[in-house]
Amino acid sequence: MQLTAGIAGAAAVGGYAAADTELDDETNEEIDERVAGMSLAEKVGQMTQLDLARLSGEDPWDGGELNEELLETAFEENHVGSILSGGGSTPVENTPEAWAETTNEIQEYAIEATGVPIIYGIDAVHGHSNVVDATMFPHAAGVGATWEPEYAEEIGDHTAEVVRATGIHWNFGPAADLARDLRWGRYYESFSEDPVHTSIMTAAETRGLQGEDGPDGDSIAATVKHFTGYSEPFGGLDRNPAHIPQRRLRTQHLPPFQAGLDAGAATVMMNSGSLNGVPAHASEYLIQELLREEMGFDGVIVSDWEDIHRLRSIHEVGESIKDAVRLVIGAGVDMYMVPYEIDDFVPNLIELVEEGEIPEERIDASVRRILKLKHRLDLFDDPYVDPGVAEEAVVGADRDLAHESAAKSMTLLENDGTLPLSGEESLLVTGPAATDVAIQMGGWTVEWQGLDDAEEEPPAVTVLEGLEDAAGDVTHVPWDREEPGDEDELESAAEGADVAVVCVGEGSYAEGPGDDQSPSLADAQADLIEQVAGTDTPVVCVMLSGRPLTLEGVHEHIDAFVMGYLPGTEAGTAVADVLLGEENPGGRLPFTWPRHVGQAPIYYNHYPGEGEFDPLYEFGDGESYTDFEYEIASVDPGTVSDPSPDSTVELTVEVDNTGEHDGDDVVLVFGDREFTSGPLMLPDRQLLAFERCHVESGGSTTLTLEVPLGPLALVSGDVPDDGERYVESGEYRLFVGEETTELHVE
């Protein structure tokens, strides 16, 4: 689990087009010949991505069957090279077979009209999540809470298999954004608030989606997104401006993107917001200097949804839509996710080239990259899928993996001894998250905003069902998210129960509609906890949520507290496993949990200051049903000479399970320096490495972790912070739990 040295050492890519090392010379020559033989309109078409809805029904919002006239407009008139399904954009019959038939039909029409296969993209955020009967996995925050890259990789591999089975070749993930502001509606799409943790998970999911050698005919293309700084919008409001100094950009935000690129990510999606006063899509610095030249990326850069139009509607840049096209394509974006108004993009880009505003060589470079990706995915030779096998490939696939990954994410944050349950207790189960499938699934499930907007629910095990199956003596009192249930029934059931399991959470959401300036429990749910606690029955609170909801006024009423994130299809089995001790909770928080929203944005690796950092729970927190002790056995070498951000040491740690239960532990290695030589500062502490391990009761295990020094690097340059990254000489501390050791750097 090693982080590469941030963005240092990336190979430069000069000019408009980089050499492709993934294809043989014959294929590269074929691509060059094809580009040379294409008209300007055909080239621009390859750079155009339309939503499925623009090919269906009578207008973009109707849906319906594929429309012959719209297909003709897209492919015969505009030579479109890519189609996507945004959240909720599905075939009329939302089954795997119908998806496969639809993508085949579009593919056939495109090839006959243009001679080039389309590449179909989708937001398969937690499995093939647009398909009703697909298996839904934990969202990224929950996967991050497992602290096990294997799950990110295995879920990515599953996603590639089921998405490919329905004729889709490109996933818009993983998100390499840091979870920094819980008010933001995309918080749960991030693995973690920490760059090392996020880097490792991003690389793992990328490998899972694409395979070890990058995308090919048996996998799909991954997209690291949203480049960059997207997750720190002003006020926590989606697509708001971000203001991030170079020093923090380079030490915090860029490493996860570099990790994704180093893992072979074939595509990058741009940040829909602005960074330091420049819309990311129009930034030559971000795209050409940083991403292409410094970070060495030679793959496809795609816009996010409608972001050339948003250059004007949000950022107020560009006197016309034609100006906006010039700015974004001129900056280096290869493909525009239109997704509807094709006439605003294609004719304007053609005119800009014909008028000399954009060189045709610039267009050729983008088209080469797009065609190379299609060749790597084997779309020229094998563009179709078999609808007859799609159903078997998708429906019910890998439910065991969904169960295991959800169970491993469960994070125990409080426990006065109430847990684990014996299975003999009488239980009251109440709260909206006990039965509301929309809560356990979150956004990007069937519909863009999740199941609150959906007509059909996917198969799922609710928390109530999981506990009824595992515990037996269960009484359920319904309780809605925003409205209280029958209070007399609640009081009677609570008084008659040995333990009350109160399941709370928030409704499904995605992107801007999920922005929340005060993310806390709804009053009805806070009152529920208070009322149950008033009966003196022990309260086990289970929260299913995409972010840490503040618990002011109710925290003191909770006897045991489990954070379950957005666990997906197998939520109920995972929660039951943890509450009844079948699974000793080993999840750890991938973010900092504030006491109140006034602390937002909040994250642990901040620079030193006078104000007190006092969250409710800290990054990495999580309890167990057993006890672990650490001993740092050695650090090798103990002295690092001629250090660089690429330098590493090996830290050997002994982990002893001194409790009565077998269990998993997550060993977190942090580093800091009491004083730098100045004037530059380091964060109070920084995660350097981690590893999850299983230790039997009374047993021990020895771990040797490769610990990079890159996260402790400084960026020179005083306040302008435009210098190089370097590791300063001096004394550093490495610590695991309360154990510390010294590291000398000279």
Per DSSP, the residues of 343-402 read: GGTHHHHHHHHHTTSS-HHHHHHHHHHHHHHHHHTTTTT-----HHHHHHHHTTTTHHHH
**pLDDT band at residue 453, thresholds of 50, 70 and 90?**
confident
pLDDT the model gives residue 8: 33
Would you place residue 720 in the very low, low, confident or very high pLDDT band (cuts 50, 70, 90)? confident
Beta bridge partners of 324: none
pLDDT digits 0-9 by tens, 245-264: 999 999 999 999 999 999 99
668 and 653 within one domain? yes
Q: Please check whether residue 224 is in contact with residue 265, taking contact to mean a CB–CB distance below 8 angstroms.
A: yes
pLDDT of residue 62: 72
| Cα torsion angle, 182, 574, 205, 118, sign | negative
- Assess whether pLDDT exceeds 50 at residue 15: no
Q: From CA 204, how far away is CA 24, in angstroms rounded? A: 27
CATH number of 722's domain: 2.60.40.10
Instruction: Answer yes or no: do 648 and 578 share one domain.
Output: no
Q: Is the residue at 606 inside a domain?
A: no
**740 and 658 belong to one structural domain:** yes
Q: Within this chain, do residues 146 and 259 fall inside the same structural domain, yes or no?
A: yes
Which of 304, 364, 398, 516 is flagged as catalytic?
Answer: 304
Domain termination residue (choose one: 599, 620, 653): 599
Structural domain for 343, as ranges: 25-393
Q: Clarify whether residues 181 and 225 are in a common domain.
A: yes
Q: Do 583 and 537 sit in the same domain of this protein?
A: yes
Read off the pLDDT of each residue in 529-547 and give the average, rounded to a whole number: 98
| Residue 336 forms part of a structural domain | yes
Q: Is 621 a catalytic residue?
A: no
pLDDT in tens, 263-321: 999 999 999 999 999 999 999 999 999 999 999 999 999 999 999 999 999 999 999 99
pLDDT score recorded for residue 418: 98
- Give the domain-ending residue among 358, 393, 428: 393
User: Whole-angstrom Cα distance, residue 281 to residue 269?
Assistant: 9
Does some domain include residue 697?
yes
Domain count, the chain: 3
Residue 732 reports pLDDT greater than 70: yes
Q: Is the per-residue pLDDT at 18 higher than 70? A: no
Distance CA 448, CA 443 (A): 6
Helix or strand (DSSP H, E) at 733: strand 730-736
538 lies in the same domain as 495: yes
Pick the more confident residue, 46 or 678.
46
Of 372, 393, 414, at which residue does a domain stop?
A: 393
How many residues appear in the chain? 746
Q: Is residue 696 in some structural domain? A: yes
Q: Residue 164: pLDDT above 90?
A: yes
Pairwise pLDDT comparison (467 vs 15), residue with the higher score: 467
Do 372 and 414 lie in one domain? The reply is no
**Mean pLDDT computed over 426-450:** 98
Q: Are residues 336 and 468 in the same domain?
A: no
Q: What is the pLDDT of residue 61?
A: 67
Which letter, b or e, does each residue of 229-259 get, where b requires 16 or more Cβ atoms within 10 Å of its Cβ? bbbbbeebbbbbbbebeebbbbbbbbbbbbb
29: Cβ–Cβ under 8 A, 6 or more apart, which residues?
A: none
Is residue 618 one of the residues assigned to a domain? no
Q: 75 and 201, same structural domain? A: yes
Examine the pLDDT at 2 and tell me if it is beyond 80. no
Looking at residue 107, which CATH number applies to its domain? 3.20.20.300
Q: Which two tokens stand for residue 66?
A: 């594929």
- What is the rounded CA–CA span in Å between residue 399 and residue 567? 12
Please check whether residue 14 lies inside any domain of the structure. no
Per-residue pLDDT at 443: 98
In this structure, the answer to whether residues 643 and 506 fall within a common structural domain is no
pLDDT confidence of residue 5: 34
Identify the CATH number of the domain in which residue 457 sits: 3.40.50.1700
In a domain, 13, yes or no: no
In this structure, the answer to whether residues 595 and 640 fall within a common structural domain is: no
Which residues neighbour 184 within 8 Å (Cβ) at sequence distance 6 or greater?
231, 233, 236, 237, 238, 514, 515
Quickly state the pLDDT bin for 22 (edges 50, 70, 90). confident
Question: What pLDDT, on the 0 to 100 scale, is given for residue 1?
Answer: 29
Q: How far apart are CA 273 and CA 163, in angstroms?
A: 28
pTM as predicted? 0.96
Does a structural domain hold residue 252?
A: yes
Share of the chain above pLDDT 70, in %: 97
Q: How confident is the model at residue 63 (pLDDT cuts 50, 70, 90)?
A: confident
Q: Where residue 60 falls among pLDDT bands split at 50, 70, 90?
A: low
